[in-house]
Amino acid sequence: MTTSVAVVDLCVHRGSFQLGPLTFAVPSGGRLAVVGPSGSGKTTLLRCLAGFEPAASGTIRLGDAIADDGRRRLPPDRRGLGLVFQDGALWPQMTALQHLQFAAPGLAADDALALLRRAGLEARANDRPGTMSGGEAQRLGLCRALAPGPGLLLLDEPLRSVDVHQRDGLVLLLRTLADERRLTTILVTHDRDEALALATDLVVLREGRMVESGPAQDLLQRPATAFTAAFLLGAACLPVSATDGDRLSTPFGTFARPPGAPGDLRLVLLPGDVDLAPPGSGPAGRILCALPGEDPVRLRVALADQIVEAHARAAPPAGAEVTLALRAAPRFLPWHEPTRP
Amino acid sequence: MTRLPLLAALLFLATFVLLPLGGLVVATVRGPDGWTLAAWAALADDRNALVQLAASLQLGLAATTVSLLLGGLHAWVTVGRDLPGGGWLGPLGVAPLVVPPIFVAMGFADIAPAAGFWPCALLLGVAHAPFVAVLAARGLRGVDGRAYEAAWLLRGGRRAELWLLRAIAPELLAGCLLAFLFTLADHGVPEFLTVKGKTWHTYAEGLFARWNRRAVGTTFAELQSPIVAALPFVAGLGVLLWAALRLRAQGPDRGVVQPLPRRPLGRWRWPALLAPTTYLAAGIALPVVVLARWALGSAQRLEPMSLSFARQSFHKAIDQGLPDLLHSLWLALGTALLVVLLALPLARAAARRQPLLDLLCALPAALPAILLGIALVRAFHDSPLLRSFGGDFYAGWGFAVCGYAARFLPFAALTLSAQVRRQPVAAEEAGLLVARPPWARAVRLHLPPLLPAAWTAAVVVFVLALRELDLAVVLPAANATAVRRLANAVHFQHEDWSGVIALLLLAIAVLVPLLPSLLAGRRLRSLS
């Protein structure tokens, strides 16, 4: 049975770090990714959902049960969830089969073997984690989490210790097993591709606060903050300064301030928003390298303390000084507080 | 359910460490006429106690210097060096720990006059050098080889060696502090040398001497004076121990690192062999050779050494000393088992929830065994609690095991808590998600990764309990151990069968820990 998740005004205190207040919901069978840079509170949130960290205030509801309301806390083993840890967190003294049998009392050996077979670990059933590769260890961690038949699967950066060649296989396995069981899934990661591959909805965190949330496609097409654009789309965000009246000064010239925009704005340059231009017609940058591909040639260019992706017909040599120009109207977004209507 | 072992261990600590110590402290301020500070006020006038304290400090510093030279050099030239035979000389660094300090003293006293301050410092320095050797080696094995190579690239070989010395300084200092503590606390060796003509005394000796003659005192202050003199010193030792623990915690053992590169000794390659050979010769070979010569009849002036004399010695030893030897064996086995059972819950609690428990568990290590023994005797010699166990528990094996366990608990608790800290918390959290009872998690998840450290702790405690002399002198229940018998027998010219008993004791100390490894056919790992 799958479990819905509802988090309302959740605050978690961990030393001097404060997470929240956070409010979000994941419907039964939904797939949510919590993304953000290191130190944004992703893992703290996941640990609180799992029951390892107490909520200071707010409510976590798993299905119909209140898991934590700041006063009463359901112990981790009674929350009916599975957790795949960052580095496996496997039990070194147990074989793969023993992992599953310990994790799910009453699980028949045949069923455990069948699960291991699905994960491509049947041949490793009697091996201990110490002899496994990073990818195999994470597959075993996934099997262990799924063995008791949880309604909610939490994933803590599951691909972090897996090498590039094994990532795709693990992503497919995670998707397949979660889809088959119609599992509610919450993933935390700082990797955009991992988030987009495994989730349909996103929550963006920064320094313990929620920057924005919503369906992944909406956030990708219309990020409400420069922080989200930078994190999810690899945008360069140049600081701007206000000049007289409603004008904003940027390296590309001065522009009118968008109506209703807050104070801390950034000029957001998505890949391809900038072209090479004749000398003297715009700010100067230095070519770092050309990316693979021919028409147009994609160039990584250093501009101030940012790196922008510019398009050109031919690739100047690395180190060459070039002039940049905006291809379309400039896009100004607040740094990390979405514009309130 | 899972709190029960922890509660039992805490109860043990309270009963056999805190209660006796608390009793000692209270007795110093509770005179026949009520509360008084007379005994403390008299401390400043007790010139004898102050002189003995000063002598102990000097002895501690001198012996620790010897330990540093022997143990530190042994580790320095055997770990990560191209010393000939370094591969097997290195792990032998822990071996001298098996030899009781009193045996080292017997060995040295047999070949040279061992009276006076410096011979005593040398003997105790040799006896406690394994603490420095083992911890320095541990520090060197914990240094990240890449960091050393970075220092080498940037500053050259000589500066890199200085960098390495700084990197292992916490471990080295911790080893020195342990050697210092053990030297200060030692009563047996300075007392043994008394019969060889020593003219000065340490505070541990003074403590025991005045405790032995406690009925002679006439005033409350006189009766309490040795304990009053000892308590501030113990507090000082506690601070030192705390410093040693903090230093060890800062040691470089932070998980998997690349080992140090093999560093060439150059033209010092062969001369450097002198360091480990001197260390091992002084710590093991000399005592063993002297004991073997005693068994062969070297102490008999009328007839030459012979195998037939050795056979006679062996028969005498079996006749005179077998019960003591067996008593020592059972006492050491019981102590090792009890200590590990107590240390497991204490170590988990200290590593995961209550770091201050580490300090509490370590407290007995700051006490001279003599003082702990006196505290135990005063607390329990007429205790209705012990009488309720039935029989004469106070004079039996059970009480001796409890006393020894109180003394050696720090070694197991600290070893195990360090091991718990090395276990990833995430693996334990993964266990919390599993719907199993707490005891199942404890047995299946928490215990197995600790078993190697538990075995190491058991071996160390077993060996230390076998060689313990000071506590055996004070506790009536431990009087009949082989080491105690040996210390007495040598005074009465019974070197022949004493040598045999001592060799048998060493054999037990080596073989019993080796037995499981030999039976399982597994390669031994260094105890460090």
Domain ranges of chain A: 5-225, 234-328
- Average pLDDT of chain B to the nearest whole number: 83
Q: In the structure, what pLDDT confidence band is assigned to residue B511 with cuts at 50, 70 and 90? A: confident
* Å between A138 CA and nearest CA of chain B: 13
Pairing of strands B34-35, A321-326: unpaired
pLDDT (mean) for A71-90: 90
pLDDT the model gives residue B332:
95
pLDDT the model gives residue A296:
81
Residues of chain B found within 8 Å of residue A99, distances taken between Cβ atoms: none
Q: Which residue of B has its CA nearest to A102?
A: B434
Pairing of strands A265-269, A331-334: antiparallel
In DSSP notation, A224-253 reads SSHHHHHHHH--EEEE-EE-STTEEEETTE
Taking CA B295 as the corner, what is the angle to CA B292 and CA B298, rounded to the nearest 5 degrees? Answer: 90
Residue A33: beta bridge partners?
A187, A202
pLDDT (mean) for B334-353: 93
Q: Any chain B CB within 8 A of the CB of A52?
A: yes
Burial of B222 (0-12, 13-18, 19+ CB in 10 A): middle
Q: Look at A224-238, B36-50, B320-334, B433-447 and tell me which has the smallest mean pLDDT.
A: B36-50
Query: Is there a domain that residue B39 lies in?
Result: no
Residues of chain B found within 8 Å of residue A144, distances taken between Cβ atoms: 430
Q: Any chain B CB within 8 A of the CB of A105?
A: yes
Q: How many other CB atoms are there within 10 angstroms of residue A191's CB atom?
A: 16
Nearest to B252, CA basis, from B156, B165, B177, B180 = B165
pLDDT (mean) for B67-95: 90
pLDDT (mean) for B208-216: 67
Query: Is there a domain that residue B72 lies in?
Result: yes
Residues of chain A found within 8 Å of residue B429, distances taken between Cβ atoms: 50, 52, 76, 83, 85, 89
pLDDT the model gives residue B214:
59
pLDDT the model gives residue B199:
64
Select the residue of A76, A93, A105 nearest B433 (Cβ to Cβ).
A76
Query: Is there a domain that residue B384 lies in?
Result: no
Class of domain A5-225: alpha beta
pLDDT (mean) for A311-338: 85
For residues B109 and A340, what is the distance between their CA atoms, to the nearest angstrom?
A: 89
Query: Is there a domain that residue B160 lies in?
Result: yes
B66 pLDDT higher than 60: yes
Q: A50 and B433: CB-CB below 8 Å?
A: yes
Percent of chain B with pLDDT over 90: 21
B392 pLDDT higher than 80: no
Between A284 and B110, residue with greater pLDDT = A284
Query: Is there a domain that residue B502 lies in?
Result: no
pLDDT the model gives residue A6:
95
Q: Look at B15-19, B64-68, B108-112 and tell me which has the smallest mean pLDDT.
A: B108-112
Q: Which residue of B has its CA nearest to A86?
A: B426
Q: In the structure, what pLDDT confidence band is assigned to residue B391 with cuts at 50, 70 and 90? A: low
Q: In the structure, what pLDDT confidence band is assigned to residue A339 with cuts at 50, 70 and 90? A: very low
A44 pLDDT higher than 90: yes
Q: B430 and A86: CB-CB below 8 Å?
A: no
Q: In the structure, what pLDDT confidence band is assigned to residue B1 with cuts at 50, 70 and 90? A: very low
For residues B435 and A80, what is the distance between their CA atoms, to the nearest angstrom?
A: 9
Q: Which of B2, B419, B423, B433 to mutate to probe the A interface, most A CBs <10 Å? A: B433
- Please say whether the beta carbons of A254 and A245 come within 8 A: no
Count of A–B CB contacts within 8 Å? Answer: 56
Q: How many other CB atoms are there within 10 angstroms of residue B463's CB atom?
A: 25
For residues B89 and B95, what is the distance between their CA atoms, to the nearest angstrom?
A: 10
In DSSP notation, B126-150 reads HHHHHHHHHHHHHHHHHS-HHHHHH
Q: B448 and A78: CB-CB below 8 Å?
A: no
Q: What would the pLDDT profile of B461-507 be if each residue is shown by its tens digit?
A: 999 899 888 888 888 888 888 888 887 776 666 777 888 888 888 88
Query: Is there a domain that residue B240 lies in?
Result: yes
Q: B427 and A91: CB-CB below 8 Å?
A: yes
Q: How far is CA B132 from CA A234, B118, B207, in A?
A: 55, 20, 27
For residues B269 and A125, what is the distance between their CA atoms, to the nearest angstrom?
A: 49
Q: How far is CA B412 from CA B252, B329, B362, B368, B472, in A?
A: 21, 19, 10, 18, 20
B329 pLDDT higher than 60: yes
Residue recorded with tokens 């023993």: A98
Residues of chain A found within 8 Å of residue B427, distances taken between Cβ atoms: 89-92
- Average pLDDT of chain A to the nearest whole number: 89
Residues of chain A found within 8 Å of residue B436, distances taken between Cβ atoms: 77, 102, 105
Q: Which residue of B has its CA nearest to A156?
A: B426
Residues of chain A found within 8 Å of residue B454, distances taken between Cβ atoms: none
Percent of chain A with pLDDT over 70: 97
Q: What would the pLDDT profile of B177-204 be if each residue is shown by its tens digit?
A: 889 988 888 888 887 776 655 566 787 7
Between B298 and B332, residue with greater pLDDT = B332
Percent of chain A with pLDDT over 90: 49
For residues A120 and A155, what is the distance between their CA atoms, to the nearest angstrom?
A: 19
Q: A76 and B429: CB-CB below 8 Å?
A: yes
Q: Look at B60-74, B145-159, B204-218 and tell me which has the smallest mean pLDDT.
A: B204-218
Q: B430 and A91: CB-CB below 8 Å?
A: yes
Domain span at residue B87? 48-298
pLDDT the model gives residue B527:
42
Q: In the structure, what pLDDT confidence band is assigned to residue A95 with cuts at 50, 70 and 90? A: very high
For residues A158 and A139, what is the distance between their CA atoms, to the nearest angstrom?
A: 9
Q: B433 and A81: CB-CB below 8 Å?
A: yes
Between B257 and A239, residue with greater pLDDT = A239
Query: Is there a domain that residue B232 lies in?
Result: yes
Q: In the structure, what pLDDT confidence band is assigned to residue B520 with cuts at 50, 70 and 90? A: low
Q: Any chain A CB within 8 A of the CB of B398?
A: no
The domain that holds B255 is classified in CATH as 1.10.3720.10
- Between helices B3-13 and B397-422, what is the axis angle to 10°? 120
Residues of chain B found within 8 Å of residue A91, distances taken between Cβ atoms: 427, 430-431, 444-445
Q: What's the number of domains chain B is made of?
A: 1
Q: In the structure, what pLDDT confidence band is assigned to residue B126 with cuts at 50, 70 and 90? A: very high
* Å between A51 CA and nearest CA of chain B: 9
pLDDT the model gives residue A199:
93
Residues of chain B found within 8 Å of residue A149, distances taken between Cβ atoms: none
pLDDT the model gives residue B478:
86
For residues B393 and A30, what is the distance between their CA atoms, to the nearest angstrom?
A: 67
pLDDT the model gives residue A82:
93
For residues B252 and B244, what is the distance between their CA atoms, to the nearest angstrom?
A: 14
